[in-house]
Amino acid sequence: MSFATQARAVWDRLQRTERVLPSRVKIPDQRILPRQTSHELFSPDSAYFQVRINEMFLSNQREWFRKIDPMVFVLTEFAYDKSEHSVPFVVGPQLLENKGNPTRTPTGMLFFNTRVAGIHPYRGGRLTLALVLCEIERENYAKRILSIIEKASGALDFSTVLTSYVKLGGVILDGLDALLSEESTKPLIGMRDEIDPDAGDLFGPCHWLLIDLPKSEFQEDHFWVKDGHLQYGESEQALTDFHKADYVLFSIVKSTERGDIRALPFYPLYEAALKEAASAETESWQRAKANLSALYQMLILSPDLTSEQADALNDSFVNKLKAARKIALQNATLGEKDIVPESLQKRLHAAAKIMDIE
C-alpha cells in the first residue's frame, strides 16, 4: 500500500466514526486582530506556507489529563520537489503538556502555537488539510501506542528534512490506524478541506475553528481572533474569551522568506566557500569560487526555497565572500608599509629613557 493510499485509508476510518461531525468556522480577515495590511493570495513559487495550531482549549468537564488524554492528528498534502507528499503529524499529551499553560483553571486548559506543517514553498496545485481531535483513555494499550507515534512524529524537523520525515509517515499512520481500532479512542471533532486554485478556489492565509458544539449553539459571525487567541462578541469592542466547549483554532500562514537558512542542506557548502575566501592564498580563492558556483546550483534547485529567495541568497553569499577575500588580502599585507626604521627605533628608545617611560 502506497503512503498516499495509507493516508486516505486512515481518513476514511475517521470519517466512518459517529463522532466526527465537523462544527467548523472559517474566520474572515476582517475579524483577525490586529488587522493585516496585506491579504494577497498564494501564487506558485512566490511565498512559503505553514500550518499552525494557534490555540486549543480543553474543558475540564472531559477530565482531560486525569482520565483521558487529547490527541490531534493533522494530515497535510501538497506539492514538494516535483511530486505530491502527505505529511502526518500527531500532537499528543507529551507535546501539549510542554506547550500548555501549566495552571489548570476550573474552566479548562489552553495550549498555544504548534507548527504542524511547513515552512515550505508553495509550488502550485492543491493543498489538502485534515485535522481531528480525539480523546484516549489514559491507562491502556492505546496510551502506549500514542507515546510511540508521538515520538516518531517529533523525531525529525519536517521543515528542513521533509523527504526523511515522510519515510516515518508510514510508521505514524500505522500507529494511528491501530489507535483508531481501539474502543478507548474516540474522535470528537474533525474536518478535511481541499483548496484547489485550479478549480477556482481562493488560497490565501486564513484561520479555521473546529469546535465541539452544534452550530445552533453559537453565532459564526461572533468569532474573532485577537493576538492569536479566540474571542467571541458582537463587535471588536465587546470581545470575551470563549470557554463554552473544546475547540481547536488553526491557521495557514504566509511568509515571503524563511529564516532557518542555516538548517538547510546547502549551508555547509556556503561555510566551506567562506572559509576559503578568508584566506589570502590564490588557490584558496579559486576553490572559494568553485564552491560558490556549486552553491548557486544547489540554491536554484532547492525544493526548500522560492526562486526569489534563492537569487537573493546567492547575491548575499557572493557579497560576503568578496568582503572576506578583501579583508584576507588586507590582513596579509598588514604592517608592510608601517615597519619602523632601525634609526627611528634607536631615537625612540633614547627618548623613552630620558622620559623614564621605557
pLDDT of residue 230: 96
Max intra-chain CA distance, the chain? 101
pLDDT at 161: 76
* Percent of the chain with pLDDT strictly greater than 70: 84
Q: What pTM was computed for the model?
A: 0.85
CA 211 – CA 101 distance, rounded (Å): 20
Across residues 80-104, what is the average pLDDT?
81
Banded model confidence at residue 343, pLDDT cuts 50, 70, 90: low
pLDDT digits (tens, 9 = 90+) for 249-265: 999 999 999 999 999 99
pLDDT of residue 2: 56
Q: Which of 37-41, 103-107, 177-181, 185-189 has the lowest mean pLDDT?
A: 103-107
What is the spatial distance between Cα 35 and Cα 356, in angstroms, rounded to a whole number? 72
- What lies within 8 Å, CB to CB, of 310 at 6+ separation is 299, 300, 302
| Residue 211 backbone dihedrals phi, psi, to 5 degrees | -140, 140
Q: What contacts 265, CB < 8 A, 6 or more positions away?
A: 160, 298, 302, 304
Residue 246's pLDDT is what?
92
Q: Give the C-alpha separation, 317 to 261, whole Å.
A: 12
Q: What is the mean pLDDT of residues 22-34?
A: 90
8 A C-beta contact, residue 254 and residue 48: yes
pLDDT of amino acid 37: 66
For helices 307-332 and 267-277, what crossing angle results, to 10°? Answer: 20
Q: Which band of pLDDT confidence, cut at 50, 70 and 90, is reported for residue 312?
A: very high
Q: Is the pLDDT of residue 356 over 50?
A: no
Q: Does pLDDT of 203 surpass 90? A: yes
Name the more confident of 5 and 30.
30
- pLDDT value, residue 190: 86
357 pLDDT band, cuts 50/70/90, is: very low
Residue among 39, 117, 104, 41 nearest 78 (CA): 117
Residues of the chain above pLDDT 90, percent: 51
Q: What is the pLDDT of residues 142-168, one digit of tens each?
A: 777 888 788 888 777 878 878 878 777
Q: Are 190 and 134 in contact (CB under 8 A)?
A: no
Query: How large is the average pLDDT for residues 13-30?
Result: 74
164-197: pLDDT as tens digits: 787 778 888 888 888 888 888 888 888 889 999 9
